[in-house]
Chains A and B, each alone.
Chain A
Amino acid sequence: DQQVKQNSPSLSVQEGRISILNCDYTNSMFDYFLWYKKYPAEGPTFLISISSIKDKNEDGRFTVFLNKSAKHLSLHIVPSQPGDSAVYFCAASAGANNLFFGTGTRLTVIP
């Protein structure tokens, strides 16, 4: 059973606009959440993370929001750039255990 879900397989956004990628989870024990970006023929690259004690974490153009009551997190990219085009995975873990990944969302930023 998929404990981390990304229901949008793809997303297209104009350059300069905001990209919003969404992720839902089912396990209430998850306390650490991450976003990874993956280019073709490369491994996933860590982007940003958030602990369950926070509801927002920001790093430059990237902001992750966590809504624990809704078991939902989102990644905002502002402004979106063509180089942001990649597959984005959200992941979650409970304690020091393994990561559970979503199935990914392919973001295409149109110049």
Chain B
Amino acid sequence: KAGVTQTPRYLIKTRGQQVTLSCSPISGHRSVSWYQQTPGQGLQFLFEYFSETQRNKGNFPGRFSGRQFSNSRSEMNVSTLELGDSALYLCASRLQAYNQDTQYFGPGTRLTVL
């Protein structure tokens, strides 16, 4: 079974631009979560989507948004990019949204904002 895939793997943008990242979950998984990883901060939760509905949201500004499609694929959008948005963005999928459903991570998208 194929793992979680993320595209693109690397992105370079300038301040003020917007960016869209894509995540394809493991086949059959209905939940997709997004995380931001920066040095010294670990992984910070952005949001989780389940059956096309956002079920949980972390403490990030409204410039960060996402959506999920009927095939469970998810996109994350960041508008008006700031230098501090440079990070590794990881998505993770799980079968349902139960407590002990293990989250499986993709390789991430490395975003650099200049």
A residues bordering B, Cβ < 8 Å? 2, 4, 6, 31-32, 34, 36, 41-46, 49, 51, 89, 91, 93, 95-104
> Closest A-chain residue to B57, C-beta based?
A98
Q: Mark B79-96, 1 if CB is under 8 A from A, else 0.
A: 000000000001010000
Q: Are B45 and A100 in contact (CB under 8 A)?
A: yes
- Nearest residue (CB) in A for B3 is A43
Q: A46 CB to closest chain B CB, in angstroms?
A: 5
- Closest chain B CB from A42 CB (angstroms): 6
Q: In the complex, are the beta carbons of B41 and A103 less than 8 A apart?
A: yes
B113 to chain A, nearest CB (A): 20
Q: Identify which of B44, B48, B58, B107 contacts A43 (C-beta below 8 A).
A: B107
Question: A46, B42: Cβ atoms under 8 Å?
Answer: no
The contact string, 1 if C-beta is below 8 Å from chain A, for chain B 35-52, is 100001111110010000
Residue in A96, A100, A103 whose beta carbon sits within 8 Å of that of B97 in the complex: A96
Smallest CB gap from B106: residue in A? A43
Nearest Cβ distance between residue B111 and chain A, in whole angstroms?
Answer: 15
Cα–Cα, bound, A45→B48 (Å): 19
Residues of chain A lying within 8 A (CB to CB) of residue B108: 43
Is A43 in contact with B33, judged by CB distance below 8 angstroms? no
A32 touches B45 (CB 8 A): no
Is the beta-carbon distance between A93 and B99 smaller than 8 angstroms?
yes
Identify the interface centre among B42, B104, B105, B108: most chain A CB within 10 Å of its CB. B42
Nearest CB on A from B37, distance (A)? 9
Q: Are B42 and A43 in contact (CB under 8 A)?
A: no
